[in-house]
Amino acid sequence: MRIDFIIGIPRSGTTLLSTRFRSNPNVLSLLESKLSIAVIKDVKSENGKFLKTEKLIVKLNKKLHKTDYSIVNDPLLKLNNIQPTSAIEAIEIISSCIRYRNHPTAKRVIDKNPQFTWYVDKISNAFPSARFIIMNRDPRGFVLSKRQKRKKENFIFTVSFLAILWRQFQKKIKKIKAEHGGKTTEITYEKLCSNPELELECICKFLDLQYSKNMLEGHELNIDYSKNFERKKIITNDLSKNINTSRLYAWKTELNRRQILRIEVICRREIKAMKYNTEFNPSILTKYWILVTAFPFRALAELRMILIHIKYN
């Protein structure tokens, strides 16, 4: 049993990629949760109980009830009876109780969560054989997608804050690649959508999995529409389609000129390093003004990072 992880920028195709592995009957591609982190904490705890994992599994069970996943045995009972001493052993027990459609017990688990990007060291120590697929994306596409995802107007969905958030992820990704190079591969949303077969073949080779053309096809998902109907309907429709480029450069028409300029100025170094083209060549005065007005959002972004660490630790 081995577990691998899909991490990286939110709204960069992490869900799109994770659903592609569901065509492989030997792979269990988990729904997004904090299960792996909960397991790591519980294995390290001295009381020998899986309290954090229990809370996550209870939530996950409610979530799975109205999807194409099912729980065939009681994972909590098995955990308490066997008392695993390692995180990978605990994940193996849990995954043996989860089925996707009519697939058999999986030999490989893939866990997807962009927030795991901040905990790669901890995850790598707990799962030494794990490999990490890092998803990345043009900052302008990221900002547009995050703003479209919001349920209501919110201060943190301003362009400046999201551009700074994107930069924070880039710094962390750079560090991960430097410290865990052989265990990581980076894929951009643009490349995945433009040349899906080549990128999926490379990913499968990296993970020692057999590639299948079925991975190119969309997967209709059984999702409960009772809450957030419109958003979940959009997600279902998007994931049920074959990988395509229809939304690749939507930011060019759906963000205004000032928004694009602001993103390009704030993320200028990273955009250049990633070889994305820019739309504008602003004056020094314009750059200075944008950076000054964006400064308060840096403090907000740092506060967000502190809250994330408190939440996961």
At 151 the pLDDT is: 57
pLDDT over 80 (residue 64): no
Give the torsion sign (CA, 247, 253, 258, 261). Answer: positive
Q: At 149, is the pLDDT very low, low, confident or very high (cuts 50, 70, 90)? A: confident
Mean pLDDT of 4-20: 93
At 234 the pLDDT is: 47
Closest CA to 260 of 223, 286, 226, 233: 286
Between 305 and 87, where is the model more confident? 87
For 199-252, write each residue's pLDDT tens digit: 999 999 999 999 988 888 765 555 444 454 444 444 545 555 567 788 899 999
Q: At 10, is the pLDDT very low, low, confident or very high (cuts 50, 70, 90)? A: very high
At 117 the pLDDT is: 95
Q: How far is CA 153 from CA 90, 148, 157, 268, in A?
A: 41, 10, 7, 26
- Backbone dihedral region of 13: left (phi > 0), alpha (psi from -120 to 50 degrees) or beta? left
Per-residue DSSP letter, 226? S
At 152 the pLDDT is: 57
At 241 the pLDDT is: 59
Determine the Cα–Cα distance for residues 219 and 264; give it in Å rounded to an integer.
Answer: 35
For 154-180, write each residue's pLDDT tens digit: 556 899 999 999 999 999 999 999 999
At 313 the pLDDT is: 64
pLDDT over 60 (residue 62): yes
Which residues, at least 6 apart from 30, have a Cβ–Cβ distance to it below 8 Å?
18, 95, 98, 109, 110, 111, 112
User: Domains (ranges, CATH) in the chain?
Assistant: 2-26+107-312 (3.40.50.300)
At 242 the pLDDT is: 66
For 253-307, write each residue's pLDDT tens digit: 999 999 999 999 999 999 999 999 999 999 999 999 999 999 999 988 888 888 8
